[in-house]
Structures are given as C-alpha cells and as structure tokens.
C-alpha cells in the first residue's frame, strides 16, 4: 500500500465573504441604525456603530488569520476498504488566533464518495493538526481533492477560503474476507547454503538497492553516508514452509472482489504467522518473501486488480462549508451561558414591565437552562404550548398597556418571544440566533433610559452576547470556565478595537432632525397635564425626579423671583377644572411683546426630560425660540413634535411687557365664570368692582394674605359643587393649584381678566456647573391678570401664603413658610449634586447628542455641513487614521518577538512565500531560490547570517542590522 509523502502547498487566492451569521449580523446593524434614526436614540447609535466596528475588525482579523505558511496533508498509515481513513492536515498559523477549518472531497474512480471537514483554533506560531476522516467504501486509489483551508473569525461573522491546488492520494487495500479457509502451503527454497536458506531475519546476507516500502530499519545508513545511495540490508534464515497465494486458487469464488478479499485475508494470515508467501495475480507476480515491505507490495497489488469496483455516489446533501462539527446534543455549558447573557440583557427593562412578565421570563429561561444538555429531566414544551404562551402574553400586555406598539409593550412582547425561542433551541443555528436577537433587544433598553448606568450595562451585556456567539462557532475550544473567560476576553478585545471607529461614526454620522415614521409611543409623565384639578400639583410635589435642566453657561442666572418656567396656559373654566383653550387660541390675534430696557438677557440650554407633551418650559418672555418650535398667542412655547426622549433646546428670554395690546375675544374668554357657581366667592369679588382694576387685585391679595390660609401638601377633599367657596371659607388649606384657581375666580368675578398658568417655579443651582436643576416637585401654578396699560401681570397667590416657596424651596416652605434662605445642604446632597454634574455633561454630549449638537461640532472643527466636500474628506481621513493603527496592532501580533525570527518573517512577507512547518532557514532559502533563481546568492547569505545569529556564539548588534539591511535591499 503506497503512502506518498505529505503534500505541502502555499495557499493562494483568498476569498473573503461573510458567513450566514455575518450577513444576519450586518442586517441587525442596519436595522438598529434605522430604529435609532427614527427614535433619535443617541446611545443606540453608539451601540450600532460599535457592532459595525466589530463587523469590520473581524473581517480584518479573518484576513490575517489565513496568512498560513503551508498546509501539509498526510495520508493515513493504513487504508482498508470499509473503514474511514484518517488523513492529517497540518496547518501552521502565523496570523492571530482564529478558527481554522480544512475541508475537501474524497474521490474514487472519478466519483465523489463524501465530503470531509475538520476544525480547530490555531494559535500563532503553532502547528494545528486536524484529522480528516475520509470514507473509503471500496479498494483502489483514493484522492483527497478540492481541499480548502477556511478561516472563520472568533465570532463566526466572516470566512476566508484558500484553495489548496494539489491533492493527497492513497491506495486503499481490499477488505480481508472473514473466516477465510487456510491458504495452500508452499516449500520455500532460498539462496543460502546448499539451497537450505531463504529470506529471513537470522543472519546478514548482503545488501541490495532500496525499494519503495522497505523498512527504514533495514537501510544501511553507513553506505548512504559514504556513497549517497540508498541500500537495503538482507538477512536470511533456514529454508522452510511458506504460503502459495495464487489467483487461480480462488477461481471457485467467481466474483473478482470476493477473490481479492480472500487473497487479502491470506496475506494478513501470512503476516500474522511470520511466514513467507508468494503472490500470483493475472498481471503481477511477487516472488516468495516476507517482511513489512513484502506485505505492503502485495496489498498494493491487490488494491489495483482490474477491474476496480465502482464506489457508490455520496448520498444526501453535505453540510455547508462552514457548518460546525456538531455533537448529538447542544453543549449544556454553552447553552446556559447564552441564556445567562440573555437574562442579563433584560435587566434594565424589567422595571418597565408588569411583574408577571418578569416571572414568565424567569420561569422560561430557568426551564431552558435546566433542560440544557443531553439528559433532560423534564418533558419538553411542545410548539403548541409555546405558541399558546405567546398568545396569552400578547393578550396580557395589550390589557396592561392598551397597545402592543408602544415602547414598554413592544419591548416586552419581543422579550417574551425571544425567551420562548430560547426554550425551543435545539440546533446551532438557533443558538447563534439567540445572540443576535439579544443584541437587537439590547438596543430597545435605550427607550427607557440613556444614562451612564444603562450604557455600562449595555457594554457588559454586549460582551456577554458576543462571547456567547463565539462559543457556538467552536464549542469544543471554548468549553468550561477557562474557555468562557477566554471568549469574554476576546469579545472585549474586539470591542476595544472597534471603539475608535464607533466614536468617529458616532460624531460624524448624519443625524436627521425628524423621525422616519411615527408609532404610538407611551411617554413618561412630567407632572403637567392638559387640565388642573384640585390635588394635581400637590401629588407631584412628592416626586423628586428631574423635570429638566437649564444651562446658563456664559451668561447670568436669573434670581429666584424670576425663575418661573412657563408651561400650559389654562383659560377655560367650567366650575370644576381649568383647561387649555387650544382651538380658540388659533383664532386670536397675537398679543404684543415689549422688552423692558435695562433688564438682562438670559441665554440658556434647556435639557428636557421626555414627557410626551408639545410644550417647552421657558422663562418669561421668550425672545428667541428653538428650531421646530413656535410661540402661541398664549405666550407659550410649543414644539411641532412631542418630546419622546431627552432633548436639548436653545432659548433666549428677557423681561417684557406681555399683551398690552390683546385680542378682545381673549379678554372676554378670561372673564367667563359659570353662572350660579360659588356664590359666596362671587359676592365677595362683586364688592370690589367699584375699585380700579389694580386695587381689585390688591384686595384679593390682602384677603388671602390675612385670611388664615395654610400651605400644605395634604389639603382636605373639596366638594365638586361650589369648590372655590369650600376652599376660601371653610378648609383654607391647600397647595398652589388651590390658590391659583381661587384667585383667578375672584378676579374674573371682580371683572378682571384672569387665567391660570402651569409650569415650574425655582430650580436648584449646581455649584459645580452653571445650570439649574428643576425637579418634578417644583411643579407650580400661578395666576395672570390683565391690566390696561400693563398687559398680563403675574400674580402668585402662593407667595402670599408661603413666601419661602419662591425664595427657597418646597421643603423649606412646608416647614418654614416665611423663611428667606434654604436650609444648608447635607453631605449627601452635595455629593448628589456632583453626580448630577456628571449626569448633565453626559446628557449634553452623549445621550443628547443630536443634529444640532453635531452641526455645532462640525462648525467648530471647520469642516462645513454634513455632505460637504470638507466633511467627506474629514470623515475618510479620520476613518483611515483610526483603521491603520488597528491593522498595525493586528499585524504586530503576527510577527515573532525574537529579533532574528522577526527578520526572517519579514523576508517571507516580502517574498510572499511563507515557511513550512518546521522548515529551517537554510531549507527555506533553498526552496525560495527555486521560485526566485536570481536571488539565490542573497538568500543563501541571509540564511547563513540567520543561523549565526540564532545558533552561533553571541553576535554583536551589527550582525542583526546587517541581516535586516540585506532583507530590506532584497527585490523580487
């Protein structure tokens, strides 16, 4: 049986393309990008570009991973028909660690008998040995053809295939017959003394020319060293019995394959007993002899007896080129790690969903983790049961949120479906899909928050999901806790390499100002609504969350008495509640706005938390509104789109006289009171009608200031009928909306146009930043009255009862209503303000980075607008500058650390001729000279200098410089 030397080739013609997982990964990146554009998710942009950077980096690493000096395919030592043959592929890796797969096709008699593949992770400067199990159904020559070396990155996103042009061949010996009869005997006479000796192992008989198949133990190495010719030593032994293996002795069997099978069994029997044998075939005769070479020659002859049998065509479809070598069941450790990564990615959204959703997710993931592995202790959930759970979850979410298209409901139903998918995961494709879907769901967490904690969680969850995907590319390599740690480190390294490119795209990628489409979105609540009812604002006073921040960097900060943040204006009154006159205000003429000379101009950036309402909160009076915003006839700033996420607006305000010229129809509207309502309050106000309007306002103010009223968060419940009377003459305890509503009623009843204005009052100044923090508990309501010659004048009746509410803060006003200074901050409050400074900077430059911020940045950099020539040039230059260090880092990990070895590596790069596994410098120089004959002298000199540096006595540094100089001067 002939065993040729291993075939060693230099791969060429790299073909790089994404795998199915890589194509799906790219689709995920594009899908999340579209979602981030539509919903203006700034951190979503960051995660999307980070994943895009990973996609690019893995492509570069895949190309580096296939820089292989050689692929050596060794045939098996034994090849018998009916038994799989184990070819050995030796791959020496020079590039970074990567998943390497060797694939090929087995062919016999021109027919393909099967596809083979083997995979493993190759480490730099190591030889990876892969066993290729090749089916050999029949005897005869077998060729391993169409061999390819395939590199897949650690995440399985890219594949680079290098064809191996040559093939490995082997002669497959026939299968010996079971229970074959005894072979016929033969008297063996040799050439020894008196003809009584024959070939054996007793005494030396002489030497002969080397024949293929002779054992290396019988080669006379002394003759080889002296003459350079291979000679084989012969021994003899006393003549004895042998076996006569004659083709004619098997004539009774008839079938060729049966006859060959019997002769093969007789050869095996002779080898087992150590007997000499003679073999006679129709076209071949092997004289009597014995030994390993003799047996191999006999088997090779039997393997080629004509006619050769026809192998069966390979049945079924072969697996895809890059499909993993899968065991019968998914590895339990890898599946549980994927489930853990999914559970971790759900954490931020759990507070947004009903408790039963959390219980459902926990139960299903726990069940799937318990079922992982080949031994399942619980019955599997049928598809019908999973579908029923999905339907019930959809019904429950629709009942909880009123829709399935909102943020909370939509993300919850996605999480439920993904969890149910995890419970039915049975294949590697499904397991990889879990990571992709987990990354998609991770982006939806930014609907709920884009804070630094969410960003940190997202980075950790991304690393876990990428590591989980890596474990499915080659589960055997990443098995166990150590493998999990290595997979996490590799995922983290990829993310670090992708971070610069992600930062560049985050800063320069165009940010549109409007969404691509609109869907029903559930919004967070600011505390202000479209109407005012008793208790509306007192309930909000217990909410300490931030409503907005106002940054006055570079300008004055208004004093506390002017920190009235105007919101909705309530002009309609039905005796029970105050509402906005939205439709009527469109028909009113715009009021006048006259700036007051000598008053400062306030320029500030308003960072508004999401509230889902169209109004902005601005100081009075706004002289410059932001883009996509307008000032209504009620002197309220509204946007064209409700704030569905944290948004930054630039405004300018200045003290002004409002509405000295006002539409008479609006004034009439602000005089209306329902007939028959609150008769005592109406009678009180009617007594002031004879006074000038300004004195009527003063009378009402004096009544409240001296009437024994109390400021409280817990006022008694007022009746629906004659509510103002009950408050003014009975309870006398209330919050800002009670006093504003009562004062406006008194003024209208007294013949003075009045309305209620909602918004916020105050704001805590952060000493570490030039900005104010306005919280939900600062929600406030006050009154505006219209006086001829003055226009709309603000009157805050709450300040009459609790001046500390205006001068200090809510907490001080509730305990010390007449205080003029706020209580000193505690250590925890000071620490909270420092943390809020970081939060504000994060909101401004990361979470709130939008089209306006981008235009400001581009303007400062002097690159023009998005799409301009300077912009495109800067973007390409930045990408090149960022990618070059990445490729340099990847390449640096390829070069050996030893200086001499690194120089020889540079030579292989320059010649585009990698070294073979275990190849010496001298052997490499000799082989390279065959490709480049003109460089033979220089290559020989390089090899000599390399050997002196590596194996000679300590050489001075000049020797290394000379070697490097020779390599640099080399030209192909």
> For 353, how many CA atoms within 13 A lie in the half-sphere containing its CB?
27
pLDDT at 192 over 50: no
Give the β-pairing of 140-152 and 168-172. Answer: antiparallel
What value does the mean pLDDT of the chain take?
Answer: 83
pLDDT at 290 over 50: yes
Neighbouring C-beta atoms of residue 756, cutoff 10 Å: 23
Q: What is the CA radius of gyration of the chain?
A: 44
Q: 545 falls in which pLDDT band (50, 70, 90)?
A: confident
pLDDT for residue 153: 84
Segment of 220-229, 242-251, 395-404, 451-460 carrying the highest mean pLDDT: 451-460
pLDDT at 547 over 60: yes
Residues with catalytic function? 736, 780, 796
Q: Which one is predicted more confidently, 115 or 421?
A: 421
DSSP label at 19?
-
Angle, helix 679-686 to helix 736-749, in steps of 10 degrees: 60
pLDDT for residue 517: 64
pLDDT tens column, 293-332: 889 999 999 999 989 888 877 643 444 444 444 444 678 8
pLDDT tens column, 880-924: 777 776 666 555 556 676 788 888 888 887 887 777 656 788 888
Residue in 883, 908, 881, 884 with CA at minimum distance from that of residue 894: 908
Q: 673 falls in which pLDDT band (50, 70, 90)?
A: very high
HEC secondary structure over 515-562: CCCCCCCCCCCCCCCCEECCCHHHHHCCCCCEEEEEECCCCCCCCHHH
Neighbouring C-beta atoms of residue 766, cutoff 10 Å: 18
pLDDT tens column, 514-525: 666 655 444 445
Query: Average of pLDDT values for 595-622?
Result: 89
Q: Which one is predicted more confidently, 924 or 667?
A: 667
pLDDT for residue 193: 41
Give percent of the chain above pLDDT 90.
Answer: 32
Query: Average of pLDDT values for 54-66?
Result: 83
pLDDT tens column, 684-722: 999 999 999 999 999 999 999 999 999 888 888 888 889
CA–CA dist 460, 387 (Å, integer): 31
> In angstroms, how far is CA 340 from the centroid of its own chain?
16
Q: 740 falls in which pLDDT band (50, 70, 90)?
A: very high
CA–CA dist 173, 77 (Å, integer): 12
pLDDT for residue 443: 92
pLDDT at 20 over 50: yes
Query: Average of pLDDT values for 195-206?
Result: 55
Q: Which one is predicted more confidently, 409 or 205?
A: 409
pLDDT at 725 over 90: yes
DSSP label at 219?
B
Q: Is 776 helix (H, G, I), strand (E, B) or coil?
A: helix
pLDDT at 400 over 70: yes
Q: Is the dihedral of CA 330, 334, 339, 345 positive or negative?
A: negative
Q: Which one is predicted more confidently, 18 or 817?
A: 18
Neighbouring C-beta atoms of residue 585, cutoff 10 Å: 17
* Ordered DSSP codes for 563-602: -EEEEEEEEEE-SS-EEE-HHHHTTSPPPPEEEPTTPPEE
Residue in 56, 139, 79, 144 with CA at minimum distance from that of residue 107: 144
Give the β-pairing of 601-608 and 754-761. Answer: unpaired
b/e sequence 258-267, b meaning 16+ C-beta within 10 Å? ebbbbbbbbb
Give the burial class of 479: count Cβ atoms within 10 A of its Cβ; 0-12 exposed, 13-18 middle, 19 or more buried: middle
pLDDT for residue 289: 84
Q: Is 682 helix (H, G, I), strand (E, B) or coil?
A: helix
pLDDT for residue 516: 65
Query: Average of pLDDT values for 565-585?
Result: 87
CA–CA dist 63, 67 (Å, integer): 7
pLDDT for residue 957: 76
pLDDT tens column, 463-499: 999 999 988 887 766 667 777 888 899 899 999 989 9
* Ordered DSSP codes for 320-377: PTT-----SS--HHHHHHHHHHHHHHHGGGGGGS-HHHHHHHHHHHHHHHHH-SS---
Q: Are 808 and 821 in contact (CB under 8 A)?
A: yes
The CA-atom distances, in angstroms, between 427 and each of 123, 335, 422, 920 are: 28, 10, 11, 45
pLDDT for residue 524: 45
HEC secondary structure over 58-126: HHHHHHHHCCCCCEEEECCCCCECCCCEEEEEEEEECCCCEEEEEEEEEEECCEEEEEEEEEEEECCCE
- Which residues pair with residue 733 across a beta bridge? 710
Q: Is 780 helix (H, G, I), strand (E, B) or coil?
A: strand
pLDDT for residue 30: 94
pLDDT for residue 815: 74
pLDDT for residue 968: 85
Tell how many helices (H) and how many strands (E) occur in the chain: 29, 35
Query: Average of pLDDT values for 394-419?
Result: 87
Query: Average of pLDDT values for 582-611?
Result: 85
- Which residues pair with residue 532 across a beta bridge? 578
């Amino acid at each position: 049986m002939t065993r040729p030397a291993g075939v060693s080739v230099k791969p060429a013609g790299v073909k790089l393309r994404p795998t199915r997982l890589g194509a799906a990964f790219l689709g995920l990146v594009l899908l999340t990008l579209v979602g981030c554009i539509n919903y203006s998710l700034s951190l979503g942009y960051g995660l999307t570009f980070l994943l895009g950077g990973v996609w690019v980096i893995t492509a570069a690493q895949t190309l580096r991973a296939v820089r292989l000096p050689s692929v050596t395919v060794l045939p098996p030592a034994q090849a018998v028909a009916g038994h799989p043959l184990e070819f050995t592929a030796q791959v020496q890796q020079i590039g970074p660690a990567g998943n390497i797969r060797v694939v090929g096709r087995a062919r016999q008699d021109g027919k393909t008998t099967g596809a083979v593949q083997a995979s493993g992770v190759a480490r730099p400067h190591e030889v990876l040995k892969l066993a290729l199990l090749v089916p050999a159904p029949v005897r005869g020559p077998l060729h391993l053809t169409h061999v390819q070396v395939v590199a897949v990155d650690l995440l399985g996103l890219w594949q680079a295939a290098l064809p191996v042009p040559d093939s490995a061949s082997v002669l497959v010996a026939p299968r010996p017959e079971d229970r074959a009869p005894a072979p016929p005997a033969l008297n063996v006479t040799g050439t020894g003394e008196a003809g009584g000796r024959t070939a054996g192992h007793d005494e030396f008989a002489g030497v002969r020319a080397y024949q293929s198949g002779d054992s290396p133990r019988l080669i006379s190495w002394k003759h080889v060293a002296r003459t350079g010719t291979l000679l084989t030593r012969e021994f003899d032994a006393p003549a004895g019995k042998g076996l006569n293996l004659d083709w004619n002795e098997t004539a009774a069997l008839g079938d060729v394959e049966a006859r060959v099978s019997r002769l093969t069994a007789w050869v095996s029997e002779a080898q087992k007993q150590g007997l000499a044998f003679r073999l006679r075939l129709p076209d071949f005769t092997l004289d009597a002899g014995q030994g390993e070479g003799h047996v191999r020659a006999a088997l090779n002859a039997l393997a080629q007896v004509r006619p050769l049998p026809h192998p069966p065509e390979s049945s079924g479809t072969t697996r895809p080129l890059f499909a993993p070598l899968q065991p019968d069941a998914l590895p339990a450790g890898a599946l549980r790690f994927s489930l853990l990564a999914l559970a971790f990615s759900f954490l931020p959204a759990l507070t947004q969903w009903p408790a039963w959703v959390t219980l459902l997710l926990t139960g299903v993931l726990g069940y799937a983790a318990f079922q992982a592995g080949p031994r399942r202790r619980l019955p599997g959930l049928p598809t019908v049961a999973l579908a029923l759970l999905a339907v019930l979850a959809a019904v429950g979410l629709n009942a909880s949120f009123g829709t399935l298209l909102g943020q909370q409901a939509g993300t919850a139903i996605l999480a439920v479906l993904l969890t149910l998918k995890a419970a039915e995961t049975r294949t590697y494709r499904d397991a990889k899909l879990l990571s992709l879907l987990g990354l998609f769901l991770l982006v939806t967490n930014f609907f709920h928050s884009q804070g630094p904690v969410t960003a940190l969680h997202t980075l950790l969850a991304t690393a876990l999901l990428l590591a989980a995907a890596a474990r499915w590319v080659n589960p055997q390599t990443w098995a166990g806790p150590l493998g999990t740690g290595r997979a996490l480190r590799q995922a983290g390294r990829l993310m670090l390499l992708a971070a610069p490119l992600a930062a560049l795209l985050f800063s320069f990628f165009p940010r549109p100002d409007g969404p691509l489409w609109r869907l029903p979105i559930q919004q967070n609540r600011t505390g202000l609504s479209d109407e005012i009812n008793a208790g509306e604002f007192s309930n909000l006073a217990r909410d300490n969350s931030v409503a907005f921040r106002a940054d006055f960097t570079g300008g004055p900060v208004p004093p506390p008495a002017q920190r009235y943040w105007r919101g909705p204006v309530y002009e309609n009154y039905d005796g029970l509640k105050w509402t906005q006159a939205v439709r009527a205000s469109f028909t009113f003429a715009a009021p006048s706005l006259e700036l007051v000379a000598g008053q400062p101009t306030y320029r500030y950036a308003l960072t508004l938390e999401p509230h889902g309402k169209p109004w902005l909160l601005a100081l009075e009076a706004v002289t410059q509104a932001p883009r996509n915003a307008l000032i209504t006839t009620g002197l309220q700033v509204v946007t064209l789109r409700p704030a569905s996420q944290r948004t930054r607006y630039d405004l300018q305000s200045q003290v002004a006289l409002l509405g000295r010229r006002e539409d008479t129809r609006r004034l009439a509207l602000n005089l209306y009171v329902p007939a028959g309502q609150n008769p005592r309050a109406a009678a009180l106000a009617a007594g002031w009608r004879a006074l000038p309007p300004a004195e009527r306002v003063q009378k009402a103010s004096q009544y409240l200031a001296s009437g024994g009223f109390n400021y409280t968060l817990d006022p008694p419940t007022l009746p629906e009928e004659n509510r103002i009377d009950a408050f003014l003459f009975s309870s006398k305890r209330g919050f800002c909306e009670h006093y504003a509503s009562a004062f406006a009623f008194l003024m209208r009843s007294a013949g003075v146009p009045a309305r209620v204005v909602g918004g916020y009052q105050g704001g805590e100044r952060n000493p570490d930043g030039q900005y104010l923090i306005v919280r939900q508990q600062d929600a406030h309501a006050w009154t505006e009255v219209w006086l001829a010659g003055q226009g709309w004048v603000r009157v805050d009746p709450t300040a009459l009862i609790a001046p500390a509410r205006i001068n200090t803060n809510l907490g001080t006003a509730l305990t010390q209503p007449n205080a003029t200074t706020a209580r000193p901050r505690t250590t925890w409050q000071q620490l909270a303000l420092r943390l809020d400074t970081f939060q504000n900077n994060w909101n401004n430059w990361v979470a709130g980075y939008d089209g306006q911020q981008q235009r400001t940045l581009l303007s400062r950099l002097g690159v023009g607008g998005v799409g301009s020539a300077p912009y495109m040039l800067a973007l390409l230059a930045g990408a090149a500058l960022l990618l070059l260090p990445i490729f340099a880092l990847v390449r640096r990990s390829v070069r050996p650390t030893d200086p001499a070895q690194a120089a020889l590596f540079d030579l292989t790069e320059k010649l585009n001729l990698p070294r073979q596994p275990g190849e010496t410098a001298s052997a490499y120089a000799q082989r390279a000279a065959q490709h480049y004959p003109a460089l033979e002298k220089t290559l020989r000199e390089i090899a000599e200098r390399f050997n002196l540096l590596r194996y000679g006595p300590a050489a001075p540094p000049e020797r290394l410089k000379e070697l490097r100089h020779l390599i640099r001067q080399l030209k192909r």
